[in-house]
Structure 1
């Protein structure tokens, strides 16, 4: 859904922010690992009662995910392993962020279903691309949309809106499941 925005960011970020970070000596892998570390801090912050940190950690982790690709493209350092590392750390980061939401009081059962379908969205893309099917932009909720939703949910948690967060998490689960179906249909149509 955010495909047009992503294309804009991917066209602007490498020429501005990506180049600046690269010139400062920042590598794409450092940004990838920083995003993973920020995500890992999210459940710890919630566990320690620092719920106020959760929106910032989600926002910064998402920013690192945008910037690692920008630096890779700006520096000409896009590699197969970098792509693999980004994908794997994104899945681990997702698990940390969903865990943080469950620890913050969002219904654990619904959260685990949403996480499972979120991981399946990514798996469906990876498997489709392995079959040489273009998968970018296919489906309702890719990772960027899910991060935005988790960010909004973290703000609502600060307002003690658990019922609203439970409903939103259920919507994430349904939308992620719908995205898996959309991607599966897309692959079926593409490969016959």
Structure 2
């Protein structure tokens, strides 16, 4: 299900945006910071809740995801891709994930589900980088990657804006958090098992 396998397609679509960012004199790190700002704004919008705020939050999530692709492509286009830039991008991505999920959980007072979702998401990302650390390359595989998570958050935000009524006791946001709680840990275990098999 992971959307990360379509990175080559996304890179082709990014070319006009990368060119525009370059002409404006933007740096990859600057784009990363702007993307993070949209994630924070999404978290605040989700906390506030309501039709308008969920819809706005969904838009912010998609902008965060798009700019998260632009920053890396811009770094490659400018020939300044670096380990420092990669580190900044990963750190901001993790804080962005936390901001959005905490905003979603706080907005519906579902802190237990929020904790389970956050830990699932962070473990998925941790396994991706830890697998790289042991020399197996960056892991993007598994059931749900970051691109999938952002797509789901944006989609569920629009669903929550249009149809907020609970289904089987959970709102759309509640179902999203439950999904991340289960699938996040499952994806982390998928990545672990794949790497363990490669190392054996």
- Could you say if the C-alpha distance between residues 47 and 115 of structure 1 is closer, same or farther in structure 2, counting changes exceeding 3 Å? closer
Aligned residues of 2:156 and 2:176 also touching (Cα < 8 A): yes
Is the partner of 2:108 in helix, strand or coil?
Answer: coil
- Could you say if the C-alpha distance between residues 142 and 106 of structure 1 is closer, same or farther in structure 2, counting changes exceeding 3 Å? farther
In the alignment, which residue of structure 2 is the partner of 1:72? 75
Q: Within 5 Å, give how 1:7-156 maps onto structure 2.
A: 7-13=8-14, 15-48=15-48, 51=53, 52-105=55-108, 107-156=110-159
Aligned residues of 2:132 and 2:139 also touching (Cα < 8 A): no
Aligned residues of 1:2 and 1:145 also touching (Cα < 8 A): yes
Alpha-carbon distance in 2 for matches of 1:167, 1:182? 22
Q: Is residue 3 from structure 1 mapped to residue 12 from structure 2 by the alignment?
A: no
Unaligned runs of 5+ in 1: none
Q: Alpha carbon RMSD of aligned pairs, Å?
A: 1.8
How far off its partner does 1:48 sit? 4.8
Alpha-carbon distance in 2 for matches of 1:123, 1:130? 10
Q: Is residue 177 from structure 1 mapped to residue 178 from structure 2 by the alignment?
A: no
How far off its partner does 1:11 sit? 4.3
- Could you say if the C-alpha distance between residues 130 and 100 of structure 1 is closer, same or farther in structure 2, counting changes exceeding 3 Å? same
How far off its partner does 1:58 sit? 1.0
